[in-house]
Amino acid sequence: MSYQLSLAPEVEQYILQQLEADFPNEGCGFFFGTEEENGQLRHVLLAEAVVNGKEGDQKRRFEISPLDYMKAEKKALELGLNLLGVYHSHPNHPAIPSIHDLKQAVPYFSYIILSVQEGRAAELTSWRLNEDRGEFEAEEVKRNNLEALPKKELI
Partner 1 sequence: MATLIIPTPLRKFTDQQTSVNVDGATVQAAVDRLVNLYPALKQHLLDQDGTIRAFVRIFLEDEDILALDGLNTAVQADSTLSIIPAIAGGINF
Binding site for partner 1 (CB under 8 A): 26, 28, 54, 60-64, 66-67, 69-70, 73, 76-77, 82-83, 86, 88, 90-91, 93, 97-101, 104-109, 111
Q: Answer yes or no: are the C-beta atoms of 95 and 113 closer than 8 Å.
A: yes
**Distance of closest approach, residue 63 Cβ to partner 1, in angstroms:** 4
**Distance of closest approach, residue 146 Cβ to partner 1, in angstroms:** 21
Give exposure, 75-105, as e/b (b: 16+ Cβ within 10 Å).
bbeebebbbbbbbbbbbebebebeeebeeeb
**Distance of closest approach, residue 70 Cβ to partner 1, in angstroms:** 6
**Distance of closest approach, residue 126 Cβ to partner 1, in angstroms:** 14
The string of DSSP letters for 78-116 reads HHT-EEEEEEEEEETS-SS--HHHHHH--SS-EEEEEEE
In the bound state with partner 1, the residue whose beta carbon lies nearer, of 78 and 147, is 78
In the bound state with partner 1, the residue whose beta carbon lies nearer, of 99 and 155, is 99
